[in-house]
């Protein structure tokens, strides 16, 4: 993929973030999400790709735009798979909490897993852990390996996990072995990426979250040289049947990076909406300007760019 595409994609996440940010703290997650979706879809029309949404807002009958299978882009460029989350962390924006962001991943056609909308068990780490972790290992063993590979004591590790009742047993183990725990309220895309960004201070991400978000996280970690493994958690026969129709004949097997994002080039971009571990949120300035903070990465070159941009918004729409 052309390197110029990376900067085109970050413009898409910037606009989604700018559109949803006015709803921060207003208690209306649906309006915040709708604004992000509409803005992201409109900006995609300017991007020189023939994209197919494989991770999006839902099936065609569930979402008016950015639905799975929708064609996006100017339709005169390269054929690519597109994964989007226009507002990762709707509750975070509605309640004025940290860590919400707009996210897009683009990869060569046929590369991104069409992940069903169900839970996925996840394990993510930074570059030093690549090839050494296994989702089948007991959590205690994973922590021992992580400490050894990072040249730390187990008590010096910081592990991130979503704050959910379903993680009760894992939290008990983490507390028993003595690691520090960083609980995440929402946005496990950011949580899974965090161990590959040294500035976050996170060493490992564990637990379960949405499978589509797992594909987005794997795309980012491919660009960062990190590790991600996932395993779908179907809730019953209906979920298993959904997996089968998507070509996942063994829904319980471990999915590695190649399964999730292929072996070719990947571009990942995210723009902060509210402040987070590695991205600032949208900040309103004087003179009808707003500032955004984004990350954009490309797997082929391992280039990671943090972009701070000032946007002139003379016709900022009023909230309705």
CA distance readout (Å), 202 to 157, 181, 182, 222: 8, 9, 8, 18
291 bridge partner residues: 283, 310
pLDDT in tens, the chain (320 residues): 566 898 999 999 999 999 999 999 999 999 999 999 999 999 999 999 999 999 998 776 677 889 999 999 998 888 999 999 999 999 999 999 999 999 999 999 999 998 888 899 999 999 999 999 999 999 999 999 999 999 999 999 999 999 999 999 999 999 999 999 999 999 899 999 999 999 999 999 999 999 999 999 999 999 999 999 999 998 888 888 888 877 788 888 999 999 999 999 999 999 999 999 899 999 999 888 999 999 999 999 999 999 999 999 877 654 43
Q: Taking the alpha carbons of 299, 305, 308, 309 in that order, is the dihedral positive or negative?
A: negative
Asked if 147 and 177 touch (Cβ cutoff 8 Å), the reply is no
At residue 126, φ and ψ (nearest 5 deg) are -85, -175
3-state SS assignment for residue 24: coil
Cα–Cα distance, 228 to 222 (Å, whole number): 8
Is the pTM here over 0.75, yes or no? Answer: yes
Cα–Cα distance, 104 to 82 (Å, whole number): 7
CB neighbour list of residue 48: distance below 8 Å, 6 or more residues apart: 5, 8, 73, 74, 76, 77, 78
Helices of type H across the chain: 4-20, 29-44, 90-95, 139-149, 168-177, 188-193, 211-224, 237-245, 257-261
């Amino acid at each position: 993929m052309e390197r110029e595409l990376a900067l085109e994609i970050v413009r898409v996440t910037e606009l989604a973030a700018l559109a949803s940010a006015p709803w921060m703290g207003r208690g209306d997650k649906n309006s915040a999400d709708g604004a992000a979706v509409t803005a992201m879809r409109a900006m995609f029309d300017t991007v020189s790709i023939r994209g197919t949404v494989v991770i999006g807002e839902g099936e065609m009958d569930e979402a008016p735009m950015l639905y799975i299978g929708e064609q996006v882009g100017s339709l005169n460029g390269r054929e690519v798979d597109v994964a989007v989350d226009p507002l990762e962390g709707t509750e975070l924006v509605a309640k004025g909490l940290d860590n919400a962001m707009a996210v897009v991943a683009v990869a060569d056609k046929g590369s991104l897993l069409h992940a069903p909308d169900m839970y996925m068990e996840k394990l993510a780490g930074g570059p030093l852990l690549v090839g050494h972790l296994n989702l089948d290992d007991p959590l205690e063993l994973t922590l021992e390996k992580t400490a050894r590979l990072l040249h730390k004591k187990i008590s010096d590790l910081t592990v991130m996990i979503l704050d959910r009742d379903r993680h009760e047993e894992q939290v008990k183990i983490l507390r028993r072995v003595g690691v520090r725990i960083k609980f995440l309220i929402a946005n496990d895309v950011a949580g899974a990426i965090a161990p590959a960004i040294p500035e976050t201070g996170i060493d490992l991400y564990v637990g379960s979250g949405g499978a589509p978000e797992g594909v987005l996280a794997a795309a980012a970690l491919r660009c960062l040289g990190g590790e991600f493994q996932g395993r779908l958690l179907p809730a019953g026969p209906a979920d298993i049947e959904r997996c089968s129709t998507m070509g996942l004949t063994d829904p319980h097997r471990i999915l590695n990076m190649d399964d999730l994002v292929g072996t070719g080039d990947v571009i990942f971009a995210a723009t902060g909406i509210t402040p987070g571990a590695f991205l600032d949120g949208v900040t309103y300035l004087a003179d009808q300007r707003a500032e955004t903070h984004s990350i954009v990465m490309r797997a082929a070159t391992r280039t990671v760019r943090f972009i701070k941009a000032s946007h002139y918004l003379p016709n900022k729409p009023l909230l309705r």
